[in-house]
Chains A and B, each alone.
Chain A
C-alpha cells in the first residue's frame, strides 16, 4: 500500500521568507509519480509540480523548487520569497505508474499562512 506523510500541520511565515514543506512517502513499487497540489480557500486543487521516480534531478520553477531524494523517500517543496497569495493548504501526493490514470494518494496537507 502507498502512504504519504506530511508531518507539518501548519506553518506561518512572514512575507518574503523562504518556506519548505516536507513530504515523506511509502511505496514498494519502483515506478511512481509524486506531486504537489495547492488548495486555496475556494477548495479547488491546483496542480503545482510532478516528478517521476526515475528522475531525481531537482529543479527550480519560478519561486518553486523541489528536492526529491529516493534514499530517504522524501519529496520536499520550497517556496522562495513567499507572498500572501501563497497562503493555502498544500498537499503532497503519490500515484503509481501503471498506465492510464491511477489514483492519487494524498497526505493530510500542510496549511501555510503567509503574513504581510
Chain B
C-alpha cells in the first residue's frame, strides 16, 4: 500500500520563475492538502482539494494555485517566485467521510524542498 508520494524531492529555481510540485495521495484517499514549512517553522496550511475543487484556503497569495485531477493526484503551482518561497512543501492526503464529525487522518508525504535563488 503506497503512501503519499511527492515529486520532485528537491528543486532549485530563480526569482520570478514558476514552479509546479506534484503529489500522489495514499491509495484510497480523495483529499489532498498542501502545507508550506519555512526553515525553523511549523507547517502552514496553503489549501486543500476535494472533488477537484479548492475546499479550503489558508492565508497565501494568489500566486499559489493548485489543481486536483480525477485520479485524486494534485499539483501545487507557484508563480513569480520570491526568495521567501524557499521552503519544504508538504502534501497530506486523507479520505473525507461525509456526514460525520469524525476526524479523518491526514497522512503526510516526504515533501519537496524548494530553493529560490
Contacts and interface: CB of A to CB of B under 8 A. Distances in A.
Interface of A: 4, 31, 33, 37, 42-47, 50, 52, 91, 93, 95, 97-109
B101 A104 contact: no
B110 A43 contact: yes
Given A44-B109, A101-B48, A106 B31 contact: no
A104 B43 contact: yes
Contacts of B111: 43-44
A52 B103 contact: yes
B114 to A, nearest CB: 12
B110 A101 contact: no
Interface of A is mostly: loop
B43 A106 contact: yes
Interface of B: 31, 33, 35, 40-45, 48, 50, 55-56, 58, 88, 90, 92, 94-111, 113
Nearest to B43: A106
A102 B44 CA distance: 13
14 contacts: A45-B90, A46-B108, A50-B103, A91-B43, A95-B103, A101-B31, A101-B48, A101-B50, A101-B94, A101-B96, A104-B92, A108-B42, A109-B40, A109-B42
Given A45-B90, A47-B108, A91-B43, 13 more contacts: A43-B88, A43-B110, A93-B42, A98-B101, A99-B99, A99-B101, A101-B33, A101-B48, A101-B96, A103-B56, A105-B45, A106-B43, A106-B44
Closest 4 CB pairs of A and B: A106-B42, A101-B94, A45-B108, A103-B45
A69 B73 CA distance: 39
**Most chain A beta-carbon contacts within 10 A, residue among B94, B103, B106:** B103
B110 A108 contact: no
A91 B103 CA distance: 18
